[in-house]
Amino acid sequence: MRVLTLSVFAMCAATAALAQQWEFGGVAGGGFLNSVPATGATAGFAPGLVAGALVGERLSPHISGEIRYEFFQSDLQLSSSGQTARFAGQAHAVHYDILYRVRNTESRVQFYGAAGGGMKIFRGTGTEEAYQPLSQYGYFTKTLTIKPMISAGGGVTFRLAPKLVLRAEVRDFITPFPTQVLTPAPGVKFGSFLNDVVPMVALEYVH
């Protein structure tokens, strides 16, 4: 009897696993970061392209979870009195989000909200120089730092075919300011948080 019970349980678990829907997709968009106040200046990152990939699992008719990766082309930036100094940079984000769909999975058009968290890796990739414009406010560094990240946003999906879905969304990636990459000069204080607002589109294959 015990063997039979275990066998039935294993068959039910396997059937449930096969019934789950998985989503695989690529995303692309543009990142628009806020500048934080600095003493006598503003510090932040220039707008740039964003690209990435996602793997998602439908947990219920209204809820799914997904793991995402995004690459950001984001140059470091200091501005003061009409002058701007830039330094090449990039970032990488890895996070897990929960999506809640207003309608069930069979609806052709679905609106959804998303929230989750993970980490964002900031990296300065420019060439360090002995003299840097606006160095009285901060220093660009060719280094790397990892910051915790909150992800929030929402969007809409359009079912183009039984296994093909187009998604349009806006995400806000919130992190502490990476002062290891863009370092305040002595006596200068930077604001605490960055908001990276990213409009994106994604094309997904549903299996």
pLDDT of residue 202: 97
What confidence score (pLDDT) does residue 17 get? Answer: 42
Residue stretches of the chain with pLDDT short of 50: 1-19
Domains of the chain: 21-206 (2.40.160.20)
What gap in Å lies between CA 131 and CA 129, rounded to an integer?
A: 5
Output the pLDDT for position 1.
44
CB atoms within 10 A of CB 163: 12
Residues contacting 16, CB < 8 A, separation 6+: none
Which among 166, 153, 165 has a CA at the least distance from the CA of 198?
Answer: 153
- Specify the residue for token string 């793991």: 67
* Segment 168-178, tens digit of pLDDT: 999 999 999 99
The closest of 89, 57, 56 to 202, measured between CA atoms, is 56
pLDDT at residue number 21: 85
pLDDT for 46 equals 92
**pLDDT single digits (tens) 21-49:** 899 999 999 999 888 998 889 999 999 99
* pLDDT for residue 105: 62
Largest CA distance in the chain: 81
Rounded to two decimals, the pTM is 0.85
Whether residue 147 contacts residue 179, with contact meaning beta carbons closer than 8 Å, is answered with: no
Q: Shortest CA distance to 190 belongs to which of 200, 202, 181, 199?
A: 181
Question: What's the rounded Cα separation, in Å, for the pair 182 and 176?
Answer: 12
DSSP symbol at 34: P
